[in-house]
Chains A and B, each alone.
Chain A
Amino acid sequence: NAGVTQTPKFQVLKTGQSMTLQCAQDMNHNSMYWYRQDPGMGLRLIYYSASEGTTDKGEVPNGYNVSRLNKREFSLRLESAAPSQTSVYFCASSERAGLANTEAFFGQGTRLTVV
C-alpha cells in the first residue's frame, strides 16, 4: 500500500551542488507533479507530466529539470543548487489526466536545505 514514495526524505546541499529527487507511484496513474512548499506561499507547481513521455513547465520551473522515466517514476533534478531552492518538495500523482473528479495523491515530501 505504498502510494507515492519520495526519496530522500531529508537532504542538505552546498550551493552549486546537484542532486536528483526521486518519486515513484504504484497506482498506475497517468499524471505526476512536482510542487514546492514555502511558508506563506502554499504549493507552487514546478513541473508536471500529464502522461508518460510528456513533461511541461509549471509556475516556477527555473533551476529545475525533470524526467518521466516511465509511467511509475518522475524525477526532479537540481543542476546547481541555490539557497533560494531551500524548500519542502512534494511529488504527487493522479489518475487519468483530464478527469476533473480525480484527486491527487502526495508523497511525504523531501525537506531540502541549501547552504
Chain B
Amino acid sequence: GNSVTQMEGPVTLSEEAFLTINCTYTATGYPSLFWYVQYPGEGLQLLLKATKADDKGSNKGFEATYRKETTSFHLEKGSVQVSDSAVYFCALKSGGSYIPTFGRGTSLIVHP
C-alpha cells in the first residue's frame, strides 16, 4: 500500500535559517506528491505539488523536487520567517485512488 514518512519534529530554527523537511514515500504506480501547511487553528492548505518525476513544485519561497530514484520529496526554503511557523504535511495520491495518503506532519517553529 501507499505510505509517507516524514521527519519528526519539532524543527526549531532562527529566522533566516535554511529549512529542510525530509519526506520519503512508497506507492503503487506513479503518484502525485504534495506538501500541505497547517497554520495554528486552521485546516490544511496546499503549499505545492509535483505530478511527475523531476518536477519541482514551488510556492512562497518553498520548493520540493519529485525524486523517483530516491522516492523522496523533501521540502526546502532558503530563509525562513517567523510567519512560516506551522505544521507541514507531505502527502501523495496515486492514479485511480480516491484517497490521499498523508505523513504524520512536522511542526516548524521559527524564532525571531
Which residues in A have some Cβ–Cβ distance to B below 8 Å? 4, 31, 33, 40-43, 45, 48, 50, 58, 90, 92, 94, 97-109
Contacts and interface: CB of A to CB of B under 8 A. Distances in A.
Given A42-B103, A43-B89, A98-B96, 19 more contacts: A31-B98, A33-B99, A42-B104, A90-B43, A94-B100, A98-B97, A98-B98, A100-B30, A100-B51, A100-B94, A100-B97, A101-B93, A103-B46, A103-B100, A104-B44, A104-B46, A106-B43, A106-B45, A108-B41
A108 B43 contact: yes
B86 to A, nearest CB: 14
B4 to A, nearest CB: 9
B91 to A, nearest CB: 8
Contacts of B77: none
Interface residues of B, number: 28
A48 to B, nearest CB: 6
A42 B91 CA distance: 11
Interface of B: 29-32, 34, 36, 41-46, 49, 51, 89, 91, 93-100, 102-105
B3 to A, nearest CB: 12
Contacts of B96: 98, 100
Q: Is the contact region of chain B dominated by helix, strand, or loop, or is it mixed?
A: loop
B105 A42 contact: yes
Contacts of A100: 29-32, 51, 93-97
A99 B93 CA distance: 8
A108 to B, nearest CB: 5
Nearest to B42: A108
Given A41-B104, A42-B102, A48-B98, A103 B51 contact: no
A100 B91 CA distance: 11
Given A43-B102, A90-B43, A103 B34 contact: yes
B59 to A, nearest CB: 12
A15 B102 CA distance: 30
A76 B68 CA distance: 37
